[in-house]
Structure 1
């Protein structure tokens, strides 16, 4: 088995508790947390660290001023990017995620910016929901579900 180096990418997150919880998931699965600015909070916000509990110091954190700066610095291949959107036609169960995938999530109230979605429409995936009574899932919950699905074939628990 390869050692996964999957990254969780949060584009313009707004709620510090969700970012903290996503960071905790990253520590649990030895993933990197990538934050794309602007953020809806200060990274030093105690609510971020409280949600990450005493794990925050162990987070492999990378920050980029913009999506374009992230693309320039990381130069991801098309098969590395998986953009999570509630209206995606493809289930997140379908891909065989590479060990160096970037799992990309938008902000809590707006999702991913339209220009990012348009540029990467083929990489959209979503979590299936069986009930029509729920519009979307909490960002932190979605990140956790996606992270475990992505590492499923790369690690044994």
Structure 2
């Protein structure tokens, strides 16, 4: 882990992508993290090579500024970071904890998103139904939003009380 990404160096909100599959989404989310000075945490396995030029292309020349941390799996992430339950916010199409507008997000929240095709694994969500939120969608013609679009909407909502 690089010095800039050490958990004790950078307090604040963090974005966590669990097993991301599409490099363009990861790059776009990374760019949003740079814009808001948030750490991006990636949890393996990935559906692409992190050095893939499409990740860099989506993040443009900002990718080198992403405060990036990587973990081999969810267990390694929990062991290293030890987030409190109240810091964890999971986002799914069918989140049962309410909409993204309901929680009050602490400044040290972890905003957790799953893979594009399957969402978050059941073992991660086990016992966390009240911590799992959704973006409202009015149209019956849409099952879900693109991960990068959904993450950006959630991140800005979560940050609204923390932006100057």
RMSD of Structure 2 on Structure 1 (CA): 1.2
**Which residue is 1:96 aligned to?**
104
Corresponding residue to 2:123 among 107, 110, 115? 115
Q: Does 1:31 align with 2:38?
A: yes
**Which residue is 1:70 aligned to?**
77
Corresponding residue to 2:145 among 119, 129, 137? 137
Instruction: State the 1:66 CA deviation.
Output: 0.3
**Which residue is 2:22 aligned to?**
15
Measure, in 2, the Cα distance between the counterparts of 1:32 and 1:120: 23
SS across alignment from 2:61:
helix
Deviating above 4 A after TM superposition, structure 1's stretches of 4 or more consecutive aligned residues are none
Corresponding residue to 2:51 among 44, 47, 55? 44
C-alpha contact 1:24 1:56 (8 A) present in aligned 2: yes
Structure 1 gaps of 5+ residues are none
Partner deviation per Cα, 1:98-135 (whole Å, 9 max, x = no partner): 00000000000000011111142221011010111100
TM-score when scaled to structure 1? Answer: 0.95
TM-score when scaled to structure 2? Answer: 0.91
- The structure showing larger relative contact order (alpha-carbon pairs under 8 Å, at least 6 residues apart) is 1
Structure 2 gaps of 5+ residues are 1-9
Measure, in 2, the Cα distance between the counterparts of 1:154 and 1:108: 28
Q: Does 1:81 align with 2:85?
A: no
